[in-house]
């Protein structure tokens, strides 16, 4: 199981990014899965297997476009999507009167989130948007795509892009009147 998702050779030293993440997240998932198996933590095992399966699916899709495997930034996107799906499920289960299923989804969110960098607050997102817009030189709503693309590149996995989209739109409207 250890070599299932390894696309790149392991480092002899961990490379860390400013957000505290490691370059080879796959190894972290595999080590966590081994620990969960040893501890017989069924929820953690199933969630980590779901993460590995989602990454493997994206790897297979990436091969068709001549990429060897997905990057850590793409892995963070996968994790963010998984968290978002579970939040939607929690809302559905709560509305449907199934609190035990909502609790299971929350436990999965906690496990998935433990592998993600700290999420930026709304004020931090606003500051990042303002700083980026001044760097990029945004003039109007036509620069929305350029701004969002730059945000996704710089803050992959660290920012709620739905909130960022709203803030970018507000800032562009303020600048353009």
Q: Which of 94, 113, 132 is the last residue of a domain?
A: 113
* pLDDT of res. 176: 67
Here the tokens at position 40 are 């017989």
Does the global pTM surpass 0.85?
no
> Does residue 55 fall inside a structural domain?
yes
Contact 104, 64 (CB under 8 A): no
The count of domains in the chain is 2
Q: Give per-residue pLDDT as tens, 36-75.
A: 999 999 999 999 999 999 999 988 888 887 777 788 878 8
**CATH of residue 140:** 1.10.10.410
**CATH of residue 77:** 1.10.1510.10
Considering the domain architecture, whether residues 75 and 138 belong to the same structural domain is answered as no
The tens-digit pLDDT sequence of the chain (177 residues) is 444 434 433 333 333 333 343 347 888 999 999 999 999 999 999 999 999 999 999 888 888 877 777 888 788 889 989 999 999 999 999 999 999 999 999 999 999 999 988 888 999 999 998 898 888 777 777 778 888 888 888 887 788 888 899 998 888 888 765
> Does residue 9 fall inside a structural domain?
no
Distance CA 78, CA 157 (A): 9
Contact 152, 111 (CB under 8 A): no
Handedness of CA 12, 3, 110, 156 (dihedral sign): positive
Considering the domain architecture, whether residues 104 and 128 belong to the same structural domain is answered as no
* pLDDT of res. 155: 85
> Does residue 14 fall inside a structural domain?
no
**Of 5, 12, 50, the residue nearest 28 (C-alpha):** 5
Considering the domain architecture, whether residues 57 and 108 belong to the same structural domain is answered as yes
Contact 5, 59 (CB under 8 A): yes
User: Which single residue is written with the structure tokens 């909130």?
Assistant: 163
> Does residue 140 fall inside a structural domain?
yes
> Does residue 157 fall inside a structural domain?
yes
Distance CA 167, CA 147 (A): 11
Contact 171, 157 (CB under 8 A): no
Domain range enclosing 32: 25-113
Contact 76, 117 (CB under 8 A): yes
Here the tokens at position 147 are 């701004």
* pLDDT of res. 87: 95
Considering the domain architecture, whether residues 69 and 145 belong to the same structural domain is answered as no
* pLDDT of res. 22: 39
* pLDDT of res. 177: 56
Considering the domain architecture, whether residues 106 and 132 belong to the same structural domain is answered as no
């Amino acid at each position: 199981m250890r070599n299932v998702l390894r696309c790149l050779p392991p480092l002899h030293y961990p490379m860390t990014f400013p957000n505290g993440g490691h370059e080879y997240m796959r190894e972290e998932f595999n080590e966590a899965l081994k620990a969960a198996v040893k501890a017989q933590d069924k929820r953690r095992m199933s969630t980590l297997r779901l993460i590995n399966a989602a990454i493997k699916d994206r790897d297979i899709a990436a091969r068709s476009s001549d990429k060897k495997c997905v990057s850590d930034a793409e892995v963070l996107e996968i994790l963010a999507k998984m968290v978002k799906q579970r939040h939607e499920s929690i809302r559905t289960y709560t509305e449907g009167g199934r609190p035990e299923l909502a609790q299971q989804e929350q436990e999965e969110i906690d496990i998935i989130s433990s592998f993600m960098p700290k999420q930026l607050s709304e004020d931090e997102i606003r500051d990042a948007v303002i700083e980026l817009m001044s760097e990029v030189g945004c003039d109007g709503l036509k620069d929305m795509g350029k701004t969002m693309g730059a945000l996704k590149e710089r803050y992959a996995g660290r920012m709620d892009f739905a909130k960022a989209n709203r803030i970018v739109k507000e800032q562009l409207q303020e600048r353009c009147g």
